[in-house]
Amino acid sequence: MRLKIILPTRVLLDSEVGKVVAEAQNGAFGMLPRHIDFATALAPGILIYETPDGDETFMAVDEGILVKCGEEVLVSTRNAVAGDDLHTLRQTVRGQYLKLDAKETVARSALARLEAGVVRRFIEFEERP
């Protein structure tokens, strides 16, 4: 089976796998190569896949969509991070989410200034004779 993990800006993973375990909104599930085709909404959590050599790899994924069609499993998500073990993955995810929170704070601040400027212009426009 071929697993592709697609982010908005790039393809994070495109690899042959023997098994995929993921978490949907209604619980965890596993897939083997002859699993029936289906689509589901993914919950934020850990996606585990097994390489053809039998090694398990962990990937933290944000909410997204998983589609299994034939031999291809497509995962589309806003954010995902790979890790060799769960402890390392947890630290990586924490670091990335702290960066995202800081970026969101800056963006929200800029948006608030922009909105205030627009409101100020409308008030000035209404006050003109």
User: pLDDT per residue over 65-109, tens digit each?
Assistant: 999 999 999 999 988 888 777 767 777 777 676 666 666 777 777
Q: What is the mean pLDDT of residues 16-37?
A: 93
pLDDT at 89: 75
The domain at 2-84 falls in which architecture?
Sandwich (2.60)
Averaging pLDDT over each range in 16-30, 86-100, 103-117, which range is the top one? Answer: 16-30
Distance CA 61, CA 6 (A): 11
Sequence-ordered list of residues with C-beta below 8 angstroms from that of 29, at least 6 positions apart, any chain: 21, 22, 23, 40
pLDDT at 113: 82
What are the extents of the domains in the chain?
A: 2-84
Nearest to 90 by CA among 58, 66, 121: 58
Q: Please give the C-alpha separations between residue 58 and each of 45, 64, 87, 112, in angstroms, as whole numbers.
A: 10, 16, 10, 38
19, two tokens: 């098994």
Q: Average pLDDT over the chain, rounded to whole?
A: 86
pLDDT at 50: 94
34, two tokens: 């002859």
Distance CA 65, CA 22 (A): 11
Place of tokens 């970026």: 103
Q: Which residue has the higher pLDDT, 112 or 108?
A: 112
Asked whether the predicted pLDDT for residue 62 surpasses 80, the reply is: yes
Minimum mean pLDDT range among 30-34, 56-60, 90-94, 124-128? 90-94
pLDDT at 109: 79
Asked whether the predicted pLDDT for residue 6 surpasses 70, the reply is: yes
Q: Which residue has the higher pLDDT, 83 or 51?
A: 51
